[in-house]
Structure 1
């Protein structure tokens, strides 16, 4: 029997409290609470919405990456329960994207005519708005009734999340201008997740630590290539020097290196899980 409790984001389909869902729900709320707290009680600034406008957009992309990481995490660690929070995370991405648009409108003193004209006149705003429209379509079709009605087409429709993610990252790069460090890191993690998906498509077993290490190396190279291409094509900053900085880890750790560290960390975690799987039965047998 379906009850109101079963629709609460912190409960499972039976209406029972889920610690995992509750933790994810709280984690999804905290950045928004920080945004509103800063707006209400933070220091008075010449552009009061500027900082929180960027923060909301950053969190939309971060939650997008977390959402896209759900399936690889399930495959790597056989953590099937985590799939239950994917819908909540997807709605969270849409919520932060809408907050991002709302803060932009507030920054323009709620002059909606100007907001609309700016969206059509400024390319980076157009890109962001197209991504938001895509997220809205996916959000509107993320419920059980829509899933049943669309059938197999539902999964095809929701594959659009990948080009939407690309548009969101492109928007991030365009508004970041010359300092694209965080945008490059987010793009690199997106590449890592796409490489995981490609590895599965061509027949590799994603739980294999060697496959994960190879994916990490490919994503690291891809991240360095993205950063090089951006500085070479979109700025006047010498791209060669930026690329060479990836090897000067004693000075600063560049985004490509961080992507490699994260990817190899996932591979190391898979090794630990594999070793634990081998030793677990032996330990239980010895105790017996």
Structure 2
């Protein structure tokens, strides 16, 4: 699935001319060689599913196991979707093109968890498809959740090099830009179904704000200057606080200003806005580290061939 529409044309051509990926061995790179990095990411993506399976096998999902499993798969679907949107910023800030190798894998994993989310919901109804369809049509938060899932499936199916060739680079890029809308729909679904305590949903929404802010402030194909990354720290935190205060104001009638100021009260733990600020500051550190690592690299000799960048086709 696509998470950055500004892909140079030469990267698209290189991706299409590269060998077909080894679908049966996701831990290999496009040359068929073993990639410890891809294997580590693959294992990490499987860990939530393995943990859920362990909880189910040990009857540790609580009195309503299906409800808890539905919640966990949906939560990891949106988390992993945001991770897929983080791939491009990490590649740009760390100057590591090989990070792009896992973008398709991460995006497809988000689709798989979202499909498991729906399948568990259907199973919880006793596979009463009529009821499932009526619930999706009548309940707004289920409707937008299903639309987001349909979009994820469309991106997952068309994430292969073959579909890029069939559709053409420009149309393929246009289709995969909908990942941002899908993420917004998924977040709205998350907030609406959470009902009362939207702490986790607001934290996720705040991280999405940072991801979008990064793209708005970054120049074409490169990481933004450090001062812009520093500016994102308070902006993302403030945006999260405003979202939370606005939600409680609309949903419960709570006064806007006290809820907004409650983000500065750490007596009962850190609020989502402060967590987003901490994560944003961490990404600023990543940007600083990336620049220092780049400065330590020896200059390339004149006439030397540039390092081959990882293919840009993927989630």
Q: Deviations over 1:52-72 (max 9, x none)?
A: 110000000110110000111
Unpaired runs of 5+ residues, structure 2, are: 1-17, 299-315
Alpha-carbon RMSD across the aligned residues, in angstroms, is 2.2
- Superposed, which structure 2 residues align to 1:21-36 within 5 Å? 21-36=38-53
Say if 2:154 is the partner of 1:168: no
RCO comparison, higher one (Cα < 8 Å, 6+): 2
Corresponding position of 1:62:
79
Unpaired runs of 5+ residues, structure 1, are: 282-288
Corresponding position of 1:128:
145
TM-score (normalised: structure 2) = 0.83
CA change 1:230–1:200 in 2 (3 A) is: same
Query: Aligned to 1:196, what secondary structure does the other structure show?
Result: helix
Distance 1:180 1:143 in 2: 36
Q: Deviations over 1:87-106 (max 9, x none)?
A: 00110010000000011111
Structure 2 residue corresponding to 1:109, chosen from 123, 126, 151:
126
Distance 1:9 1:217 in 2: 38
State the shift of 1:232 in Å. Answer: 0.7
Corresponding position of 2:202:
184
Distance 1:2 1:86 in 2: 17
- Superposed, which structure 2 residues align to 1:192-231 within 5 Å? 192-200=210-218, 206-231=223-248
Query: Aligned to 1:49, what secondary structure does the other structure show?
Result: helix
State the shift of 1:279 in Å. Answer: 6.0
State the shift of 1:110 in Å. Answer: 1.5
Distance 1:135 1:35 in 2: 22
The structure with the greater share of residues assigned to helix is 1
Say if 2:88 is the partner of 1:76: no
CA change 1:5–1:153 in 2 (3 A) is: closer
Checking the alignment, whether the CA contact within 8 Å between 2:95 and 2:290 is kept in structure 1 is: no
TM-score (normalised: structure 1) = 0.90
Corresponding position of 2:33:
16
CA change 1:260–1:158 in 2 (3 A) is: same
Number of equivalences: 280
Structure 2 residue corresponding to 1:146, chosen from 163, 175, 179:
163
